[in-house]
Structure 1
Amino acid sequence: MENSPNAEAGSSQPQFKYYDLVMASFVAILLLSNLIGASKPSYIPLPGGETWIFGAGVLFFPISYIIGDVLTEVYGYAKARRVIWTGFAALLFMAFMAWVVVSLPPAEGWPFQSDYENVFGNSWRIVLASMTAFWVGEFANSYVLAKMKVWTKGKHLWMRTIGSTVVGQGLDSMIFYPLAFWGIAGWPPETLVQVVISQWIIKTVWEAVLTPVTYVVIGALKKREGLDLYDTDTKFSPFAKSAG
């Protein structure tokens, strides 16, 4: 069931006004959150002198999941699938570019090679963990939201966005941190467990807090695109050919 979007005269393909901008926003936030904040643990002081440790990337990375919710809710699972694969390819290229640039010998007298390696020289273990967690988490998030939209007949958007986040972000956190940091100095098992739990909670809370913003964005996009798509006949395999 779908309200047809605007199409150019003589074209069989629907023409969306904002889909490319939403895709660009998704990929930009995905790359920046992985580049800047993925590997730094931070903390919140607790009463009694204890601290609660969390991954710094959690402050901004959940926005990519919110955009993923917008994509699936407005444009459908197939369009979201295309964006997820685009983000995956962008992550892969970023990792390759970082490896090439860090590996190049520095010019004589350049004093920042060690700093450069610390910032951009993530191991392939971290890269693999990040890409695996992203792939599994995003597809799970989009699948759950699309299915819940059909089940609820388009009602209770807040339930769909938060419910899909609980599943998607939970899988993301449970995959990334153990796969990336298990056995590494500075990441004892108790720290890993604490970070995974805190990431899951903070990401879900972020989704809940930003629910009013999600409502506004989704409502505006549906109105301007003339589209409200239900994935009743969609092929949900991540490897199915995306429409558009």
Structure 2
Amino acid sequence: MSSPSPPTHIRANPNRQYKYYEFVMAAFVAVYLCSNLIGPAKAAQLTLPGVGPVTFGAGVLFFPVSYIFGDVLTEVYGYARARRVIWAGFGAMIFASVMAFVVVALPPAPTWANQPAYEIAFGSTWRIVAASLCAFFCGEFVNSFVLARMKIRSNGRHLWQRTIGSTIVGEGVDSLLFYPLAFWNSGLIPNELLTGIMLTQFISKVGVEVLFTPLTYKLVAMLKRAEGEDHYDVDTDFTPFSIKL
């Protein structure tokens, strides 16, 4: 017995206007910028029952949320519209990184006594910025692609499998790229510790996705009702190097 066809839109209407698409885009870009400009500057530590002290980069609180918004965008609006949002985040991060570099490099006024702290907070090296951009670009597109393909295979059933499965793959690609590119032989983190840190961050990020699954369900259901859209990427061109709908 053949599987039923996807029940709603097969092709996206490039001229269609949505009520909330721009708001989800803005939220995605804001969370991504926060994860790179606010989180990495602080190492946090929590004491977990039965585990003990756990040290982690504060960015782990932000970054998985960008994957949640990426899941929502692909699930509701389709890969092509999610692709435009990923490019928007990529461009915003390049601009923010350049401006941070310029502002940090400006000679401080004689009365300004906080230059060292400012450099710690916003003075990421170009190697780390480039690694972050590369990892984000590859990880987000892999996440969106996997979710879109899983949606077709499952005929739209089992959303939790798509959101968690795509995040595992996307975050895995992100972590495998970011940590070696940013820190291998850098002198900042010993090479022998990279694998452990990478694994801890990966598990933490996927764990956040799992914890937020009920909220993801509610947000997806709300947007599908409000927009009258539940896109299936049956004939989509999955190249990441385009912003066409």
Is the shorter-chain TM-score for this pair beyond 0.5, marking a shared fold?
Answer: yes
One-letter code of the match for 1:84?
A: I
- Residue 103 of structure 1 is matched in structure 2 by 105
1:32/1:49 Cα in 2 relative to 1: closer, same or farther (>3 Å)? closer
CA distance in 1, matches of 2:230, 2:49: 48
- Residue 133 of structure 1 is matched in structure 2 by 135
Q: Percent identity?
A: 55
CA distance in 1, matches of 2:222, 2:48: 40
**Alpha-carbon offset, residue 241 of structure 1:** 3.7
8 Å CA contact 1:149, 1:155 repeated in 2: yes
Question: What SS does the aligned partner of 2:109 have?
Answer: coil
- Residue 206 of structure 1 is matched in structure 2 by 208
**TM-score in terms of structure 2 length:** 0.90
1:49/1:160 Cα in 2 relative to 1: closer, same or farther (>3 Å)? closer
- Residue 3 of structure 2 is matched in structure 1 by none
Instruction: Name which of structure 1's ranges 142-151 and 101-110 shifts more when overlaid on structure 2.
Output: 101-110
- Residue 172 of structure 1 is matched in structure 2 by 174
- Residue 232 of structure 1 is matched in structure 2 by 234
**Alpha-carbon offset, residue 179 of structure 1:** 1.3
- Residue 193 of structure 1 is matched in structure 2 by 195
One-letter code of the match for 2:232?
A: Y
1:48/1:19 Cα in 2 relative to 1: closer, same or farther (>3 Å)? closer
- Residue 161 of structure 2 is matched in structure 1 by 159
CA distance in 2, matches of 1:35, 1:28: 10
**Alpha-carbon offset, residue 53 of structure 1:** 4.0
Structure 1, unmatched stretches of 5+, are none
1:213/1:47 Cα in 2 relative to 1: closer, same or farther (>3 Å)? closer
Decide which of 89, 93, 96 is 1:94's aligned counterpart. Answer: 96
Report the count of equivalent residues: 238
Equivalences for residues 1-244 of structure 1 within 5 A: 2-3=8-9, 13-38=15-40, 40-45=42-47, 52-243=54-245
1:217/1:58 Cα in 2 relative to 1: closer, same or farther (>3 Å)? same
**TM-score in terms of structure 1 length:** 0.90
8 Å CA contact 2:83, 2:243 repeated in 1: no
8 Å CA contact 2:70, 2:140 repeated in 1: yes
Question: What SS does the aligned partner of 1:183 have?
Answer: coil
**Alpha-carbon offset, residue 119 of structure 1:** 1.1
**Alpha-carbon offset, residue 203 of structure 1:** 1.2
One-letter code of the match for 2:85?
A: V
One-letter code of the match for 1:88?
A: F
**Alpha-carbon offset, residue 240 of structure 1:** 2.9
CA distance in 2, matches of 1:48, 1:85: 42
CA distance in 1, matches of 2:57, 2:196: 10
8 Å CA contact 1:3, 1:226 repeated in 2: no
1:241/1:27 Cα in 2 relative to 1: closer, same or farther (>3 Å)? closer
